[in-house]
Each structure stands twice: as C-alpha cells, then as structure tokens.
Structure 1
Amino acid sequence: MKLIGITGMPGSGKSAITKLAEKYKIIVVSMGDVVRHETSKQGLTLNPENVGNTAVKLREIHGNEAIAVPCLNYVNEKYKNEDFVIIEGIRSIYEVNYLGKNAKLDIIAIHSSPKTRFERLSGRNREDDSNDWNTFVERDERELNFSIGNVISLADYMVVNEGNYMDFINNLENTLKKIIKAD
C-alpha cells in the first residue's frame, strides 16, 4: 500500500482531494476527523479554540505523532489491501516521518494565500472555522507551531489553489495521476 499525504494550511483546499479520490476509488482518511472526534469525546463544542486545544493536548500527551498513529492503525486495520490510501490533513513533520517509516509515502502540499484562505473559511460554516481575522491568525500560528510549514516546504508535490477552481482541480488530478503511475 502507498500513502498519499495531503497537507496545507486551513482553507487551502485540502478536502478537494475527496472528490478526486472517489473518481479513482481511493480511500481518504482525514486526520482532522480524528481531532474533531477526540474533541467531541471530551464533551467539548466543536469550535476553533476547542479543536485546536485538543490537537495540542493530544500531542503533549502522546507525542508529536499523536494523530498519525491512530490514523495509520485505522488504515492498516481497514484498508491494508488497498493500493493507495490518502491521508488528508498532515500537519507535522513528525507525522510525515512516522508515516514514511511505516509505509511508502508521497506528500502533496496545497497552497493558498492567507487572504484567500480566510475568505474560504469565513464562508465554509464548519464548526471549527472562524470568520474573525484574529482567530484565523491564531489558528495559522498554531498550525505553524505543529511544523506544517516544514511539511509544506518538503512536500513531494505542490499544487497552488489561488485562481480558477477547475484549474486547481485539474492540477491536483494531474498530480494524483503522476503518483499513481509512478507506483
């Protein structure tokens, strides 16, 4: 099995991989879902502060690989016979290292400017998003503290999501095809 990791700052367009994955019949596992699940298990409201604090606490308690370990365990339990599995939402170089030690791994980074990402998040209406600029900046800082900048800069592939949505989807699909063909 080969893992395809998706990284990018909040609102960059990481979730767009889901529709492409359906087209190619590739399973997608979201690391963010793991954090949101843990937040809910604690009885906390899903909002930017609680979800962010949960991610920090999980890493403090279980180490920097805290989100990657249950994700990979889940993948190995449920999808070990798949050729490819996409792990969406990688935020830490430690997660990359852990996943890369335990499986073949390529990383796709999706990049969008802060202004573009803020506009998207403001209109997305997910519980852990914010339409307040200061909260947005705090979330970005927290993500950067997880070392997401290192993951983005060291990614195997970079797809920019700034302009036309269909151009972005086509570029993302071409990148996915390269990875599939290379394996």
Structure 2
Amino acid sequence: MLIIGITGMPGAGKSAIYEVAKKYDLPVVSMGDVVRYETKKRGLELNPENVGNTAIKLREEFGNEAIAVACLKYIEEHLKDKDVVIVEGIRSLYEVNYFRKHNPLVLIAIHSSPLTRFERLKIRGREDDSANWEVFVERDLRELGFSIGYAIALADFVVINESSFEDCVNQLDNILKEILNNLEKYKKYNFIYAIPE
C-alpha cells in the first residue's frame, strides 16, 4: 500500500485533497480528526487551546509519532485492502518517518502565506480556528514546534495555494495523476530522515 501524505500549516488548504480524492475513489484519513476525537473523548470542548493541548499530551504520552500510530492502526483495521490511501494533516517528520517504516509514503505540502491562511480560518470558523491574530500565531508556533516545517521543506511535491480553490484542486489533481500513473516508482519512497535534536 502507498500512503499519500498531505502536510501544510493551518488554513493552507489541505482539505482540498478531499475533492480530488473523490475523483480517483481514494480514501482519506484525517489526522486532525484523530486529535479532535481524542479531545472530545477526554471530555474537553473543541477550541484551539484544548485541541492544541490534546495534541501535545498525546505526543507526551505516546511519543512524537503518536497521531501517526493511531492513523496507521485505523488504516490497518479499515483500509488494508486499498492500494493507495491519503493521510491528510501530517504535522511532523516523526510522523513521516513512522509511516515510512511501515509503508511507502509520498508527501505533498500545501503552502500559503500567513495572512492568506488567517483570512481563510476566520471564514472557515471551525471550533479549533481563531479569528484572533495572536491565537493564530500561537497555533502556528505550536505546529512549528511539532517539526511541521521539516515535513513541508522535505515534501516530494509542493502546491502553492494563494489563489482560488479550483487552482489548488487542479494542482493536486496533476500531482495525483503523476503518482497514480507511476505507482511502482513511488512505492519505493520509504527513506527515513534523521531528525535534528
């Protein structure tokens, strides 16, 4: 099985992958959903602080690849017959390495500027989003603390998402076509990065 990982900062447009995945009938597993599920399971309200703290606690309890462990367990239980699975919301090189220890993984980064992302999050208004710039910056710095910057910098493909949703979808569509047309090549993507301490 090949895993196609999607990484990017909050509001970069990672969820556009759902649109493209439908076209190719590919399942998508959301790492953010796993954290939100764990937050609710712990009896906490879904807001930026609680979701962020739950992500930190999960990593403290189960290691830096904690969310990837939960996702891979879900994939093995529910999607083991699939040839390709998309994992949306990879946030660290630890997670990249964990997936690659078990399956080949191709990583796609979706990148948008902070101001573009902040405006999008204000419109999106999910429980763990904030319309406050300081809270937005805190969240960005927390994400960077998980080593998401390494994952973005070392991605195999990059989508620059500064214009329309359609443009982002088109870029992702072209990348998925490339991967699906060359599956054997990408099934060799299991190299591990040494992570700086």
TM over 0.5: yes
| Pairing 1:5–2:43 present | no
Assess if the C-alpha contact under 8 Å between 2:112 and 2:161 holds in 1: yes
1:136 corresponds to: 136
Amino acid of the structure 2 residue aligned with 1:101: K
Q: CA deviation at 1:125?
A: 1.5
* TM value normalised by structure 2: 0.92
Q: Post-superposition, which runs of at least 4 consecutive aligned residues in structure 1 deviate over 3 A?
A: none
| Pairing 1:95–2:68 present | no
Inter-partner Cα distance in structure 2 for 1:29 and 1:19: 14
Matched pairs, number? 183
Q: CA deviation at 1:166?
A: 1.7
1:108-127 matched pairs, under 5 angstroms: 108-127=108-127
Indicate the percent of aligned positions where both proteins have the same amino acid.
Answer: 64
Q: CA deviation at 1:182?
A: 1.2
1:161-176 matched pairs, under 5 angstroms: 161-176=161-176
Inter-partner Cα distance in structure 2 for 1:37 and 1:167: 31
* TM value normalised by structure 1: 0.99
Moved more, 146-155 or 156-165: 156-165
| Pairing 1:66–2:63 present | no
Amino acid of the structure 1 residue aligned with 2:56: V
Moved more, 72-81 or 136-145: 72-81
Amino acid of the structure 2 residue aligned with 1:76: E
Inter-partner Cα distance in structure 1 for 2:44 and 2:176: 36
Unaligned runs of 5+ in 2: 184-197
Inter-partner Cα distance in structure 2 for 1:25 and 1:18: 10
Q: CA deviation at 1:165?
A: 2.5
Q: CA deviation at 1:97?
A: 0.1
Summarize deviations over 1:18-74 as a string: whole Å, max 9, x none: 111111100000000000000001110000000000000000111001000010011
> Over the residues paired in the alignment, what is the CA RMSD in angstroms?
0.6
1:30 corresponds to: 30
Summarize deviations over 1:129-156 as a string: whole Å, max 9, x none: 0000000000000000000000000000
Amino acid of the structure 1 residue aligned with 2:129: D
1:147 corresponds to: 147
